[in-house]
Amino acid sequence: SAKGAGKHRIARYDPVMTLPGARDLALRTPLQRAIGAGEIGVVYQPIIDLRSGAPVAFEALARWRYDGEDIPPDVFVPMAARADLLPALTAHVLEVAAAQLARWSVEVGHRSLRMSVNISPAIIADPTFPDAVAGVISRYALAPEQLVLEITEDSLLADLTVARAVAGRLRSLGAGLALDDFGTGYSSLVHLRQIPLQYLKIDRGFTGDLDTNPVTERFMRALLALGRDLGLDVVVEGVERVEQADVLRQLGCRYAQGYLFARPGPAPTRLPTAELLRA
């Protein structure tokens, strides 16, 4: 009936009915305020050397608590991108993480510990971003190679020419570049070849049944060989069980990250493994 069709039409075009959009709008102002007020939290998860068990790096991960609820970064980072808030969000996380890295470096007495910061596709295409990185390196007296920027394959889809230029400037500053979530994106190896990477992070999609599925183990073996042949340091993400870590060691994998070693959390006031790091 006409009435039915009308109802259907109203339901279809009423913005309140399209839930992601409504949520986006409802959270946009609070997110903007939280970023402006420096209320986005940063937690840290160690990247472990499988030989020694010591952390070689930490990954900084953004956290937003709003109205008693933890909004995951998979939700609020894309939201920030749609609201043009990424430069401010990235600058905040970079600043907080660099300050933490500087404190840890003083504590352990050397500057070999690294800090990884995630950057969105729009940021690797922002020609002003390398200046921001140079800024924190100098303000916190970091060794440039202590800072690692994690990009995803999808970063290379939009404007490869600009991304290459920005990546090149970051590398010439001495900062590190990691390819995050490797194996899940839409980019091609042809594009990857043009970016001066140092680290490859294999997505946790390859880790889940690594210890029980021989096919997954063959994929992992091949991915580790690829990284090694390209001269990259390979980090395997999402290690949750001892058995997975055992397989990785057998395959010659050096670096891993996951709940087995530590969940992302607030920075410990004292690094628990400072002894190991000194050794």
Which of 11-19, 69-77, 184-192, 268-276 is the region at the interface with ligand C2E (rule: CB under 6 A)? 69-77
Among residues 99, 61, 53, the alpha carbon closest in space to that of 254 is found at 53
Q: Does 74 bind ligand C2E (CB under 6 A)?
A: yes
Contact between 39 and ligand C2E (CB under 6 A)? no
* CB half-sphere exposure, 262, CA atoms < 13 A: 21
Over the window 104 to 133, marking each residue x when it contacts Mg ion by CB under 5 A and - when it does not, the resulting string is --------------x---------------
Position 97, amino acid: A
d(CA 263, CA 117): 16
- Total of chain residues touching ligand C2E, rule CB under 6 A: 22
Q: Which is nearer to Mg ion, 61 or 277 (CB)?
A: 61
Contacts of 15 (CB under 8 A, 6+ apart): 21, 22, 25
Q: Is 77 in the site for ligand C2E (CB under 6 A)?
A: yes
Interface region with ligand C2E, contact rule CB under 6 A, candidates 3-11, 140-148, 212-220, 233-241: 233-241
Q: What 3-state class would DSSP assign to 197? A: coil
Question: Do 277 and 62 contact (CB within 8 A), yes or no?
Answer: no
Q: How far apart are CA 204 and CA 62, in angstroms?
A: 19
Binding status of residue 150 toward Mg ion by CB under 5 A? yes
Least spacing, CB of residue 60 vs ligand C2E, in Å: 6
3-class SS at 115? strand
Regarding 181 and contact with ligand C2E (CB under 6 A), the answer is yes
Per CB under 6 A, residues contacting ligand C2E are: 45, 61-62, 72-74, 77, 93, 118-120, 150, 180-181, 204, 238-240, 257-259, 264
